[in-house]
């Protein structure tokens, strides 16, 4: 197991806040890139109409979704790695692991769409995101932390909680347009931030660390 270097002053609310801020900023950067990306596609294929795309051209949409999720995952992974690298040396694989964790659920959903009942598809997708992200990132964390297996649980709980909040909003008619987007990112990011603080503190190299 790789020795973890420790800066106690950052393993509390400051670390969690930085984790949240970095992750959310990466999502904002991704959203700003979307119009640029589609403008580039318009230049390459000006006659392509996404609204009326034929069955034979569905692979184009799948390729765009694949690329988009890969970029989103890589951006989030990069933002989080910039924080983690001071504690977990040589952990750059975190970026690739996060990208893979975002790609796999989307591809699985494309291959096996669930339409009836409608809520089942959402539940499965949220669960897949939690599991695949947790497992992919666990492969990086296991080199550093004795209790790293709990990371998958933290990640899964975060995504299931996001699904629950979104479902409650729909059922109670409190849903507003960006709510699912906020739930799908902010809730899992917040939960994973709590999990990361806990895991860093549970490392045998991190004794006597207290919350801020």
Res. 78 pLDDT band, cuts 50 70 90: very high
Could you tell me if residue 2 is inside a domain?
A: no
Task: Return the exposure string of 144-155: e unless at least 16 CB atoms fall within 10 Å of the residue's CB, then b.
Answer: bbeebebbbebb
DSSP SS3 for 208: coil
Could you tell me if residue 135 is inside a domain?
A: yes
* Burial classification of residue 50, based on how many CB atoms lie within 10 Å of its CB (0-12 exposed, 13-18 middle, 19 or more buried): exposed
Flag whether pLDDT at 189 surpasses 60. Answer: yes
Rounded distance between C-alpha atoms, residue 183 and residue 164, angstroms: 9
* DSSP line for 135-191: HHHHHHHTTT-TTTTHHHHHHHHHHHHHHHHHHHHHHTT---TTHHHHHHHHHHHHH
Query: What's the pLDDT score for residue 207?
Result: 36
Could you tell me if residue 3 is inside a domain?
A: no
Rounded distance between C-alpha atoms, residue 67 and residue 50, angstroms: 16
* DSSP line for 41-80: HHHH-TT--STT--GGGHHHHHHHHHHHHHHHHHHHHHHH
Number of compact structural domains in the chain:
1
* Biggest CA-to-CA distance, the chain: 63
Could you tell me if residue 20 is inside a domain?
A: yes
Flag whether pLDDT at 139 surpasses 80. Answer: yes
Residues 6+ apart with CB under 8 A from 130: 155, 156, 157, 158, 159, 160, 188
Flag whether pLDDT at 45 surpasses 90. Answer: no
Rounded distance between C-alpha atoms, residue 189 and residue 196, angstroms: 10
Flag whether pLDDT at 20 surpasses 60. Answer: yes
Mutual angle of helices 179-202 and 118-141, in 10-degree steps? 30
How high does pLDDT run on average in the chain? 80
Could you tell me if residue 208 is inside a domain?
A: no
Flag whether pLDDT at 74 surpasses 90. Answer: yes
The domain in which residue 14 lies consists of: 8-202
Flag whether pLDDT at 49 surpasses 60. Answer: no
Query: What's the pLDDT score for residue 211?
Result: 36
Query: What's the pLDDT score for residue 206?
Result: 43
Could you tell me if residue 155 is inside a domain?
A: yes
Could you tell me if residue 118 is inside a domain?
A: yes
Query: What's the pLDDT score for residue 5?
Result: 47
Query: What's the pLDDT score for residue 212?
Result: 38
Could you tell me if residue 152 is inside a domain?
A: yes
Rounded distance between C-alpha atoms, residue 206 and residue 128, angstroms: 31
């Amino acid at each position: 197991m790789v020795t973890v270097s420790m800066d106690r002053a950052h393993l509390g609310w400051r670390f969690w806040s930085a984790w949240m801020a970095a992750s959310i900023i990466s999502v904002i950067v991704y959203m700003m890139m979307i119009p640029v990306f589609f403008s580039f596609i318009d230049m390459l294929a000006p006659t392509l109409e996404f609204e009326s795309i034929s069955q034979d051209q569905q692979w184009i949409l799948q390729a765009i979704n694949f690329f988009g999720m890969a970029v989103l995952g890589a951006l989030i992974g990069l933002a989080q790695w910039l924080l983690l690298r001071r504690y977990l040396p040589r952990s750059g694989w975190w970026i690739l692991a996060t990208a893979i964790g975002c790609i796999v659920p989307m591809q699985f959903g494309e291959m096996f769409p669930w339409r009836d009942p409608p809520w089942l598809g959402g539940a499965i997708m949220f669960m897949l995101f939690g599991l695949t992200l947790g497992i992919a990132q666990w492969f990086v964390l296991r080199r550093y932390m004795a209790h790293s297996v709990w990371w998958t649980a933290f990640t899964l709980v975060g995504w299931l909680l996001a699904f629950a909040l979104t479902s409650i909003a729909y059922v109670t008619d409190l849903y507003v347009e960006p709510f699912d987007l906020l739930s799908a990112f902010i809730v899992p990011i917040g939960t994973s931030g709590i999990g990361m603080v806990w895991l860093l503190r549970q490392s045998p190299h991190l004794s006597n660390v207290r919350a801020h």
